[in-house]
Amino acid sequence: MTRAQQTISIALLLSSLYLACFLGIVPFSPKIQDEIVPVIPFWALVTFGAYLLFKLGYGVFTFNDVPEAHKELMTQIQQARTELKAKGVDVGTD
């Protein structure tokens, strides 16, 4: 199963569960049914956004902790500059 198929399967499962809760197929108390269930998608969206921001911030924070990746990236940049100069493209100063 590819990652796309797995993601689609999980999304369909969660959508089905939410729809069952929203339509009242799964019985909850009236307070939960009227006040909590309708805002679950917004809560999930905010939570997912916060998770992605944390993951991005952590990746930026720990970027200097991977010197091998930095060295490899700098090598690839130098190689690209060399290839572009060989084709006559001005790439600026080194």
Q: What is the pLDDT of residue 88?
A: 87
DSSP 91: -
Q: What is the pLDDT of residue 94?
A: 56
Nearest to 39 by CA among 18, 9, 53, 24: 18
Q: Can you tell me the mean pLDDT for 36-63?
A: 93
pLDDT in tens, 19-38: 999 999 999 999 999 999 99
Q: What is the pLDDT of residue 35?
A: 94
For the chain, give the number of residues: 94
pTM score, whole prediction: 0.59
Structure tokens at 86: 């060989």
Q: Can you tell me the mean pLDDT for 78-87?
A: 91
Q: Is the pLDDT of residue 12 over 90?
A: yes
Q: Is the pLDDT of residue 74 over 80?
A: yes
Left (φ > 0), alpha (ψ -120 to 50) or beta: where does 89 sit? Answer: beta
What gap in Å lies between CA 23 and CA 58, rounded to an integer?
Answer: 39
Domain ranges of the chain: 64-94
